[in-house]
Structure 1
């Protein structure tokens, strides 16, 4: 849920006078307000606008506030929207029913406006804190799975994604391809230009690999040092070879000077490509070994090329 600025309050009440009073109280606090006249319109508006808080009358025709609240819970995203039920019923059963339906709080009629304002203010603060926590957790997760230098996936994310996609492709009996990519003569590049230039070279190569791996399900990763990998789910050998070609050509087009390269005067890469339909007799480790074997072959044959290998 994206937090609106200022916060958006959805008021659902079949009584026009009550809605007007609630609107006035909320607008005096600086909130945006949208109104619904019954449960059905409340659900429709909630689905469309995803307000920050819902103020919901308990007793409405056709769909009462309890049923409406329960339906809102079913529509909730990862960040829940608080529902405050306004009820003229003060018996314990009604209070229990409100909380059972998913309400986080309730207030009784006639509305005590100071109490309502305070409770809404508290709920707004809770929503903000929840969102900040969610964003912080997302950022921590991103940092845990992204290589800080190149901003592509790190080795941890590579291992996790390869295992997941291996299992998924095995279930669906679809091809899984892997490319291992190594910068040619990178040690001499660092020796010639310095480690700061080496870091910049790694960043540019990573960006070129990202551009070549176009689909959302493709995962470019820094495998280690000057070595990168690309996981290509549901990709036949011909498609993987094309991606490897695009990577190699894309990096040459960067024209990063490398006067001490054994290949040419610019930075180049060698690549190993492997494709298989995962099964119980093979494993992600064997896929990596096969790609590494193909990469070794590409380097042995003179670098700046891609080679294909099959799983034994």
Structure 2
């Protein structure tokens, strides 16, 4: 059976073998036989020259003599492994040394096999062929794994973006109503177990229809974004949630917060909005944008639901509007003027 390499025109490239030996006769014979088998060959006479070649192009396999001037095969083999790590081509030691210590040194340096001179040519050709095939298969596997890792990373990024799109209000970039509903439900259950208060704030921009009529919907959208940003900056803790509740309404979920704390956050929103002083010439409240705020804080129980909390906050918001707007009203109906 012919043991030569099958190199068809469709092959991507012909494997390159680097022969490193200071024996010119051995080099000539090796190069001649391996070329007949269809390989490309490069020949150098010492380890340093081999390192120089590898810096320009990594071969598919290196046939390395152990005893050479300038740099011996053991040191060269070790250096190539240090430099190239997993990309290191297989190194086959070819040498006249046949003692146990030399064999062990070769394997310790990183050689995959050890062949002694004089060569048994059929054995040498077979080992070269197997080493190249295994190395090519390994490189293809690495490429496939690299592509898979890249695809997984791209998928992770895409999923993250999808999650952001699904959980973020497209205009204001804060949490959307779906996230608000989910978080309120989960915090209700958690704080029901812990018996800790849950606060909720509903915020409505005063006279917002008049604002749109006066300044146009593009400016109305800008106003919504400015108000949303103020609301978002008024929450400090990771568990707090600022969300767009709908239209010109916003909501704040404040876990582990009593009524006093919830009122404090509501007043902070008013204060920051007054500092910004977004002009609103058609408002019946102030010449700048104001908000009405309803707040509530309760100890969640199994006998009630988050919808109860929403209805109470909504009632407080309704009372705030009826009390002249631009104020914070708790569900107890006590008014804290803005």
Give per-residue Cα distances to partners, 1:41-93, cap 9 Å, x unaligned.
Answer: xxxxxxxxxxxxxxxxxxxxxxxxxxxxxxxxxxxxxxxxxxxxxx99xxxxx
- TM-score, structure 2 normalization: 0.61
Contact 1:179 1:271 in 2 (8 A): yes
Matched, 1:283 2:305: yes
Instruction: Tell me the matched-pair count.
Output: 220
How many Å separate the matches in 1 of 2:83 and 2:139?
11
How many Å separate the matches in 2 of 1:177 and 1:197?
31
Question: How big is the shift at 1:26?
Answer: 3.8
Alignment match, 1:76: none
Counterpart secondary structure, 2:165: helix
Alignment match, 1:237: 259
5+ long unaligned stretches in structure 2? 1-74, 90-111, 114-129, 334-338
Counterpart secondary structure, 1:125: helix
Counterpart secondary structure, 1:252: helix
Matched, 1:304 2:304: no
Contact 2:278 2:288 in 1 (8 A): yes
How many Å separate the matches in 1 of 2:320 and 2:225?
23
Residues 84-163 of structure 1: pairs in structure 2 closer than 5 A: 112-163=134-185
Question: How big is the shift at 1:239?
Answer: 1.2
Question: How big is the shift at 1:254?
Answer: 1.2
Question: How big is the shift at 1:310?
Answer: 5.3
- TM-score, structure 1 normalization: 0.66
RMSD: 2.7
Runs of 4+ in structure 1 off by over 6 angstroms are: 16-19, 108-111
Name the CA shift for 1:143/1:18 in 2 (closer, same or farther; >3 Å).
farther
Name the CA shift for 1:254/1:117 in 2 (closer, same or farther; >3 Å).
same
Question: How big is the shift at 1:209?
Answer: 0.2
| Greater gyration radius | 2
Contact 1:147 1:154 in 2 (8 A): yes
Contact 2:80 2:88 in 1 (8 A): no
Contact 2:81 2:88 in 1 (8 A): no
2:226 aligns with one of 187, 197, 204: 204
Residues 17-36 of structure 1: pairs in structure 2 closer than 5 A: 21=81, 24=84, 26=86
Matched, 1:269 2:329: no
